[in-house]
């Protein structure tokens, strides 16, 4: 467990050795009429879930105009379902340079961009404590004296102790990339000399992660549906029995809910994970009027995953099963059993919410009462 929590900081340091990025900074470069190789980079690219030292990780890359972006998400499990932390960086003024041939005779392009911002966000109690202990208050997080789960720390231009000094806004970054197959796979170049801002392009080829391009036929979202897109996380709070950390992912016309239950009961500590209840919906539609916003959707699935001991699960034949295993996800949609009464797939959902400058609140008390913050 300690190695996993330390890994989030190791990856932060590694971001200086590899091109990393996050949400675009809001520049207007996407309005430019682009031509040449940069056109092929536009859109969203994602990796699979891969073991990375003592954690599991996936990465998503976004290119919008001349804004370049990658998000690193860290997980505790090989399915990349239980997220521990997130690292975000952003670059602007992306420009494509010369065509190059790599040592394996594949070809690609050099490129340059400017650092804009980098943040690290712990998403469970263990990672929060590690960040607090390893990021010096005076030089790395002077504006954040205490840190809660889900709080982002801006480390742009900061001196962060053993992790080193992070680039200031505007620092140039030099790298190279290649596209493979029918231009649906992308790899970027990491640096053998450990430097990404010395004014020269890297000379050592070290391709690692493979990004697959996401389909571009997603609906052109507008209005309330577009505003709701993204990941929303609540703080660690008690549900009256144990502490719960809740996450909502909205992508296109789908919504995924993930409730992570912990053994702690103090209304603030989410450390010892016991199980995760998740359900997803699709075909969402939103009705907005002057008094309320109503979201309607269709339930797609309900799953339950135990992460603590499963002896009590099996002894009580939880949800009608006596063969539960730690970390194994089970579909529980449509079960009408005591303590396991879940709606069936295809059930319509309707609830109301309020959205205000990055804060999401459900006004339908049968769904939830806590506030969610956009990540």
Which of 213, 239, 254 represents a domain boundary (last residue)? Answer: 213
Together in a domain, 135 and 238: no
Helix residue ranges per DSSP H, 258-343: 311-315
With helix as H, strand as E and coil as C, how does 14-66 read?
HCCCCCCCCCCCCCCHHHCCCCCCHHHHCEEEECCCEEECCEEEEEEEEEECC
Q: Within 13 Å of residue 348, how many CA atoms lie on the same side as its CB?
A: 5
DSSP assigned state of 360: E
Closest Cα to residue 96, out of 110, 108, 85?
Answer: 110
pLDDT tens, position by position, 282-297: 777 787 765 668 888 8
Asked if the structure places residue 317 within a domain, the reply is yes
Q: pTM score, two decimals?
A: 0.55
Together in a domain, 113 and 234: no
pLDDT of 93: 92
Asked if the structure places residue 218 within a domain, the reply is no
Residues 104 and 223: their CA atoms lie apart, in Å, by 47
Q: Say if residues 192 and 208 touch (Cβ distance below 8 Å).
A: no
Together in a domain, 239 and 180: no
**Phi, psi values for residue 39, rounded to 5°:** -60, -40
Helix, strand, coil fractions of the chain, as percent rounded to 5: 15, 45, 45
Together in a domain, 89 and 114: yes
Together in a domain, 190 and 115: yes
Together in a domain, 157 and 203: yes
pLDDT-derived band at 92, boundaries 50, 70, 90: very high
pLDDT of 54: 77
Which of 182, 213, 244 represents a domain boundary (last residue)? Answer: 213
Together in a domain, 232 and 195: no
Question: How many structural domains is the chain composed of?
Answer: 2
Distances in Å between the Cα of 362 and the Cα atoms of 149, 156, 213, 369 are 20, 34, 34, 6
pLDDT tens, position by position, 320-354: 888 888 878 888 888 888 778 888 888 887 778 77
pLDDT-derived band at 359, boundaries 50, 70, 90: confident
pLDDT of 204: 59
Together in a domain, 93 and 162: yes
Distances in Å between the Cα of 159 and the Cα atoms of 85, 167, 274 are 20, 9, 37
Specify the pairing of strand 254-262 against strand 243-251.
antiparallel
Helix residue ranges per DSSP H, the chain: 2-14, 38-41, 125-134, 223-228, 311-315
Residues 89 and 334: their CA atoms lie apart, in Å, by 42
pLDDT tens, position by position, 190-226: 543 333 445 566 665 667 678 888 875 555 666 677 7
Least confident of 22-26, 85-89, 297-301: 22-26
Q: Which domain holds residue 346?
A: 223-374
Residues 230 and 359: their CA atoms lie apart, in Å, by 12
pLDDT tens, position by position, 2-16: 444 444 444 444 444
């Amino acid at each position: 467990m300690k190695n996993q929590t330390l890994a989030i900081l190791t990856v932060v340091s590694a971001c200086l050795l590899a091109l990393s990025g996050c949400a675009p900074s809001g520049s207007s470069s996407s309005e430019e009429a682009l031509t040449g190789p940069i056109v092929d980079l536009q859109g969203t690219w994602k990796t699979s879930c891969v073991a990375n030292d003592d954690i599991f990780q996936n990465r998503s890359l976004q290119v919008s105009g001349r804004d370049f972006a990658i998000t690193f998400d860290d997980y505790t499990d090989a399915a990349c379902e239980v997220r521990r932390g997130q690292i975000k960086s952003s670059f602007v003024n992306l420009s494509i340079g010369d065509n190059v041939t790599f040592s394996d005779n594949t070809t690609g392009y050099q490129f340059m961009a400017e650092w804009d911002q980098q943040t690290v966000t712990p998403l469970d109690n263990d990672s929060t404590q590690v960040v607090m202990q390893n990021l010096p208050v005076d030089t790395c997080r002077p504006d954040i004296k205490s840190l809660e789960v889900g709080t982002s720390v801006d480390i742009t231009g900061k001196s962060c102790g053993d992790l080193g000094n992070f680039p200031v806004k505007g620092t140039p970054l030099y790298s190279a990339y290649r596209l493979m197959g029918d231009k649906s796979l992308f790899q970027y170049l990491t640096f053998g000399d450990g430097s990404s801002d010395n004014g020269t392009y890297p000379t050592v080829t070290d391709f690692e992660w493979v990004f697959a391009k996401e389909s571009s036929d997603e609906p052109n979202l507008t209005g309330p549906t577009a505003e709701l897109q993204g990941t929303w996380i609540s703080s660690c709070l008690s549900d009256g029995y144990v502490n719960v950390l809740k996450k909502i992912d909205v992508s296109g016309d789908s919504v995924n809910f993930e409730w992570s239950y912990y053994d702690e009961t103090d209304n603030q500590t989410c450390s010892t994970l016991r199980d995760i209840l998740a359900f997803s919906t699709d075909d969402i539609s939103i009705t907005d009027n002057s008094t309320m916003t109503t979201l309607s959707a269709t339930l797609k699935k309900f799953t339950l995953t135990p992460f603590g001991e499963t002896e009590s699960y099996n002894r009580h034949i939880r949800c009608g099963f006596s063969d539960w295993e730690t970390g194994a996800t089970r579909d529980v949609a449509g079960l009408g059993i005591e303590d396991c009464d879940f709606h069936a797939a295809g059930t319509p959902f309707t609830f109301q919410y309020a959205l205000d400058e990055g804060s999401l609140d459900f006004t339908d008390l049968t769904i939830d009462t806590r506030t969610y913050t956009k990540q």
